[in-house]
Amino acid sequence: MDRIPLVHSSLGEKELAAVAEVFSSGWPAGQGPRGKALETQLAERYGVGDAVALSNCGAALHLAMLALGVKPGDEVIVADYTFPAPAHAVRYVDAVPVFADVRADTGTVDPQAVADLIGPRTVGVIAVDTVGLPADYAELNSIADRHGLFVVEDAACAVGATYQGRQAGALAPVACLSFHGRKGATSGEGGALITADPALAADARLRSSFGIGSIFDQAQTVGLPIPVFTDIGYNYKLSDIAAAILQVQLERVEELLERRSAVAARYAELLADEELLTVPHVPQDRTHAWQSYVVTLDRAVDRGEVATALRAQGIGSGHGTWATHLQPVYRSKQRCPVSADLFRRNLAVPMHAELTMSQVERVVEVLRTALRTSASGRAA
């Protein structure tokens, strides 16, 4: 049986060659020459003042909260329907995540929900480009400006996406990227903080290396520089091995996105008349990075049964993402009914740049059968 995985990284000979170059250089650790080159590449790609290469997007979100001066007891409004990393980052600094519900059609944070949650302790907003689709940044930035709040764009899933002609990752004053294995550009793990504010970038870069800056830079100095620890820092550096891989991957983003977009278009075509699910909605003013292809199942369908049927045929599937406010660590009296509904009904099917059209057709065939079997079983 031809197995069709839910996700698959597009890594090849060019990436291997880049890694070999790092091995030859003698500096595989973080904040070396390849890391610096990657930061320059990212800053140029996103047209911003600076970029800080980091070990993952969670680290970027944490450092953003610190650099933005979020204090214990402050409230930060976070998009509810997402991997919980934004809420985690708020908790890391002993602040309070306040969960905002999302749009039913896109799954991105609802600007009106954000506006309704602003209170005297609110200091900022973390918006999320949900599974690769940018949020409504014109409205979000306007709301933030009126109330004197910061906006952080969690663009973890959205490398290659656009909003009103601008790249996801450059849609708010601070953005955080992920280069996890299922993303549009990957080094297995990795992340970056993108910002136009050089002071904020300098703060994040220093904290990412235990608070003492680049050991590589110090090694180039004649004499014996002794680092001085002036603040608590973290080991959030990205290795030069990963940076070298990402330099290649960033050059391939458009190629890989074109292939993902073709897969998404074929799914949409084949499922257009399917009454037991809804395909993803992409507003006309933005484009999708297609980190995931998530359909919303009809309430007449048992999602668990459908996923089981797919996996029995060697086809990967997943639940989509999380309604964060329902997770035990965050359970609160807040209600985000749209997010909760999407959490119950969304289903991710295989999406990556290595999928063939015949595989897409097979996924749809098995999916259709599973939908009908489940719906008829529940109706009986």
Residue 36 designated active-site? no
Of the candidates 285, 250, 288, 263, which has an alpha carbon nearest to the alpha carbon of residue 363?
Answer: 263
For residue 40, give Cα distances in angstroms to 2, 37, 44, 60: 42, 5, 6, 17
Active site residue ranges: 183
